Structures are given as C-alpha cells and as structure tokens.
C-alpha cells in the first residue's frame, strides 16, 4: 500500500474517532440538560403546589370571613321571624282537624297571605261540613 493511502486511512480513522468523541460529549451534555430540566421542573412543581395550597387556604379564609357576618344576620333573623307573621305567602295543608272537606280537592289553594288562609276561590274560608259540593279530585 502506498503512503498516501496509509495517510488517508489514518485521517479517516482520526475523523471517525473525533466524530465518535463529539457524539459522546453531545450525549453527556444532553443527559446533563435533562437532569437540570428535571430538577427545575421538580422545584417549580413544589413551589406551585405550595402556592396553590397557600391560595386555597387564603381563599377559604376569605370566603369564611365574607359569609360569616351574613350567616350571623340570617340566624338572628330566624330568631326574630318566629315572633313575626311573615308577609310572604306560605302553604297550609288540609287536615282532618282543619278543612277536612278539602283533602284531595283539586280546588284547594291553601296559601296564607298576611295571616289569612285562602282555602279556595269558591269558599275562601273553607267549608264547614264533611263534604263540599264543589269538591273535585286533584289532578295528579
């Protein structure tokens, strides 16, 4: 083999070694980059979880501070409203003791307005006997 061929083969082997070494160094740099990235990700995740926990605690405290006065007022109004007749209508069911003729009647209204019970449109104060002449079965 001639000298130039030996030199060419030597150069090719040298280039091959250098390229192999280059890729090994690149591989090491990529591994180091991934390690740093994982560490940063873990730190960011831990910080984010801590911030979210802090925010949730502050949010819960804020809502509690915001709603507590309203709840206190609500409970106080509940105590007061027991003594006062409500101005809003409320329902009264027909029973055997009161408005027995209206049980199951489709005309029964049974709403109390300002303390006055409206039994039905035909008999606003109810019917005194056991059976009402206008009784009709309630439509289900």
Q: How far apart are alpha carbons 9 and 21 in whole angstroms?
A: 18
Kindly report the CA angle at 44 between 38 and 47, in degrees rounded to 5? 140
On whether the CB atoms of residues 94 and 110 are closer than 8 A, the answer is yes
pTM over 0.75: no
pLDDT of residue 84: 54
Asked if residue 14 has pLDDT above 80, the reply is yes
pLDDT per residue over 72-131, tens digit each?
Answer: 888 877 666 555 555 677 888 888 888 888 888 998 998 988 788 899 888 888 888 888
3-state secondary structure of 103: coil
pLDDT of residue 95: 85
pLDDT per residue over 35-66, tens digit each?
Answer: 999 999 999 999 999 999 999 999 999 999 88
Q: How far apart are alpha carbons 107 and 101 in whole angstroms?
A: 11
More confident residue, 5 or 82: 5
pLDDT of residue 34: 93
């Amino acid at each position: 083999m001639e000298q130039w061929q030996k030199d060419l083969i030597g150069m090719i082997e040298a280039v091959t070694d250098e390229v192999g070494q280059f890729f090994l160094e690149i591989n090491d740099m990529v591994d180091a980059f991934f390690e740093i990235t994982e560490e940063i990700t873990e730190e960011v995740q831990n910080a984010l979880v801590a911030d979210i926990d802090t925010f949730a605690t502050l949010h819960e405290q804020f809502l509690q501070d915001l709603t507590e006065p309203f709840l206190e007022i609500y409970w106080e109004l509940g105590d007061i409203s027991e003594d006062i007749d409500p101005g809003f209508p409320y329902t009264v069911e027909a029973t055997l003791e009161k408005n027995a003729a209206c049980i199951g009647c489709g005309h029964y209204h049974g709403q109390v307005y300002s303390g006055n019970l409206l039994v039905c449109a035909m008999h606003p104060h109810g019917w005194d006997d056991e059976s009402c002449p206008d009784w009709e079965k309630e439509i289900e």
